Chain A
């Protein structure tokens, strides 16, 4: 019961983008951190700015 509530909460966070930065960091450490010319991960502020700008480029809402 408790785990299923936790799962639903995790889905809601994912759906709303609440955990976007955490997921970005996870992706970064899995894929990019070992690369030789790896740059530092983006700060929370910088990531969020880019994420929002990208989210609203193109047709994202319908009638």
Chain B
């Protein structure tokens, strides 16, 4: 059993001080209404909230709810095979787990949600994580560890019923498709008509392949050496991009429309899914992990030492649903937009299956499950800071799609200024020149505005002269792990599809049979490629549609994980404490259901799929649309209907799983037959730790 040390007076005093500082920082952020507020308030609030939640809430969950048992042998010990089951040092497991859960999500979501002002996003990231996301990760890690490291889908099937398992599988597959499409769109928008960014991102592909060959054939398995070489080459690629950008003829080779870039990414995704992992995926992942850790640390240091001022107001008028970046009211859309960083269902796939097979001792579950998510939440807070240090006018000019504010710079500036966020054409022109770009208007998706924010933070630390370098470094940093997620996701989608198709035609289930590889990779790439294509031709920027859809899907997966957790807690006699997962579940049910219903039935054409489709049909029929818009209108109308069907599907999956779980709990309560808890029997640990 985990025992708390007897509390002494100085420890009590210390925690009272932490609580007071934390409360005043959160309160300060909430009631502040001045011109600007210092970023240190956010860092202080975050650290105090995390410290208190970790010290008290996670300790209570560990000792009283889950009852972690450090004498119990973990699957890693019982099945130790030196390959996937390996008892591993807790810090090493923490590193693996964090590298796996932290992708581009916590950078993009908070940046987009900043349209509501800094306050809603900050509060949701802080309290959503300590009460929701961290609990989900920790409980899922625990229940999977007690079940020999079984995956979420298998546990859903065992504990809730066959439908739960199928729902988790289908949910994961569709999230993957939507996620890859929206991430692809983010990269396309960052590279559109930017020779520097395009050349740099393109250079990461041969660099990754070179490192792959190096690790595979030249210096076999020398991971660190190869990665260090790769990071140097990546930094070189940022400079090379700058050189190309200044070269009159070379730059035209890398200056492209969004549509061309979308096709390039689709072709790349297909190639990456069928190439052997050592050639592209594995080396790219090493590079992106090192870049990610390095850049996040650098950003944290820069924010603490420079303590930049936040210029975004606490709340903007866009809480009413008229926001330019995405339509929809503050409730529920801030909770949908920020999924990763507060609560992300995808984590439950890592916390089950992969991480449990490495745990040397059950007591590490607290640090890795709860603590790992706290760190991701902190990354989200830093992304929010980097987005809100920009002047609000600049932030909206970069992130608002042309379909909302107009194609011409003068129109966009007039529109944004009319909302009360002053910005001028000259200011945007000057900023674009500083960043080494032709224009920064309507670069939707969050990556460019985050890069401008990061560049201005780094620039004030290391000199303004390098702003353009920092901007493209930040773009490269985001692109490299977006592309890693794209490669890995397409591959996972391919395996899942092969598995599903294998049920119908066993030959398709053979993961190394070439026709199966080509067909299933093709289907997965076509799936996300379609949404990426529509996102690029949509004058409203695509992000407006895709990101909320991704958020809904991710939160629904979280609801499935929390349903599994809740049912296991109740079945193991912890009904009284099952609210730790039950309350976040109720919250997610209400936000996802509200958001999904609004996406279906809202009359606002920027929110409701049907409203948008009907509006566009009417305009098309009356001949009001200009020729270029009329040409794509039928595809957009079809897409709105398709999105509506996907939303209905998500809603059905969610409610059937939850109702299925409630039936299981009811039968348990009444003493009727129900799926039993499938915990592996106790075995004493032989490891010394």
Which A residues lie at the B interface, using CB under 8 A?
A: 11-18, 20-21, 23-24, 27-28, 31, 44-45, 47-49, 51-63
Contacts and interface: CB of A to CB of B under 8 A. Distances in A.
Contacts of B183: 63
A51 B484 CA distance: 18
Nearest to A21: B221
A16 B353 contact: no
Interface string B178-220: 0100010000000000000000000000000000000110001
Given A15-B95, A52-B278, A61 B285 contact: yes
Contacts of A15: 91-92, 95-96
B671 interface: no
B257 to A, nearest CB: 27
Contact of A18 (B179, B224, B278): B224
Contact of B83 (A45, A48, A54, A62): A54
Contacts of A63: 103-105, 179, 183, 339-340, 344, 346, 485, 550, 554
Given A18-B222, A63-B346, A58 B104 contact: no
B353 A59 contact: yes
The bracket for how many chain B residues form the interface is 35 or more
A56 B281 contact: yes
B484 A49 contact: no
Contacts of B221: 17-18, 20-21, 44, 47-48
A61 B495 contact: no
Contacts of A57: 495, 511
B91 A59 contact: no
Q: Is the interface of B mostly helix, strand, loop or mixed?
A: helix
A54 B489 contact: no
Given A16-B223, A55-B282, A61 B488 contact: yes
A44 B285 CA distance: 21
Given A15-B96, A62-B347, A63-B103, A56 B282 contact: yes
B293 to A, nearest CB: 10
B443 interface: no
Contact of A44 (B105, B220, B276): B220
B179 A56 contact: no
B491 A56 contact: yes
B635 interface: no
Contact of B277 (A20, A31, A52): A52
Given A48-B216, A54-B84, A56-B281, A62 B350 contact: yes
Contacts of A61: 100, 103, 285, 484-485, 488-489
Contacts of A24: 82
Nearest to A26: B82
Interface string B88-111: 110110011000111111000000
Nearest to A61: B488
17 contacts: A14-B92, A15-B91, A15-B95, A16-B286, A17-B221, A17-B223, A18-B221, A45-B220, A51-B83, A52-B277, A54-B84, A60-B354, A60-B488, A60-B492, A61-B489, A62-B102, A62-B347
Contacts of B101: 62
A22 B101 CA distance: 27
A60 B105 contact: no
Contacts of B511: 57
A23 B82 CA distance: 8
B154 interface: no
Nearest to B182: A63
A44 to B, nearest CB: 5
A46 B103 CA distance: 30
Nearest to A56: B277
Nearest to A28: B82
Interface string B473-514: 000000000001100110110010000000000000001000
A13 B227 CA distance: 12
A12 B94 CA distance: 12
B122 interface: no
Contacts of A51: 83
B344 A58 contact: no
A27 B86 CA distance: 10
Contact of B224 (A13, A53, A55): A13
Given A18-B223, A52-B277, A58 B354 contact: yes
Nearest to A55: B282
A59 B350 CA distance: 7
Task: Kindly name the residue among B83, B183, B353 whose own CB sees the greatest number of chain A CB atoms within 10 A.
Answer: B83
B180 to A, nearest CB: 9
A23 B220 CA distance: 15
Contacts of B100: 60-62
Interface string B508-536: 00010000000000000000000000000
Contacts of B457: none
B83 A11 contact: no
B416 interface: no
Contacts of B350: 59-60, 62
B82 A31 contact: yes
A13 B172 CA distance: 32
The 7 closest A-B CB pairs, nearest first, are A27-B82, A63-B105, A61-B488, A56-B277, A18-B223, A15-B95, A48-B221
Given A11-B89, A13-B224, A52-B278, A62 B354 contact: no
Given A11-B89, A14-B92, A52-B278, A62 B224 contact: no
A58 B277 contact: no
Given A55-B277, A58-B353, A58-B354, 16 more contacts: A16-B224, A18-B222, A18-B223, A20-B223, A44-B220, A48-B216, A49-B278, A51-B83, A55-B282, A56-B488, A59-B354, A61-B100, A62-B100, A62-B105, A62-B350, A62-B485
Contacts of B179: 63
Nearest to B227: A16
A59 B281 CA distance: 13
Contacts of A52: 277-278, 282
B349 interface: yes
A59 B349 contact: yes
Contacts of A18: 221-225
Contacts of B354: 58-60
A59 B216 contact: no
Contacts of B347: 62
B95 A58 contact: no
A20 B88 CA distance: 12
Contacts of A20: 221, 223
Task: Kindly name the residue among A27, A31, A63 whose own CB sees the greatest number of chain B CB atoms within 10 A.
Answer: A63
Task: Kindly name the residue among A11, A12, A17, A23 whose own CB sees the greatest number of chain B CB atoms within 10 A.
Answer: A17
A58 B492 contact: yes
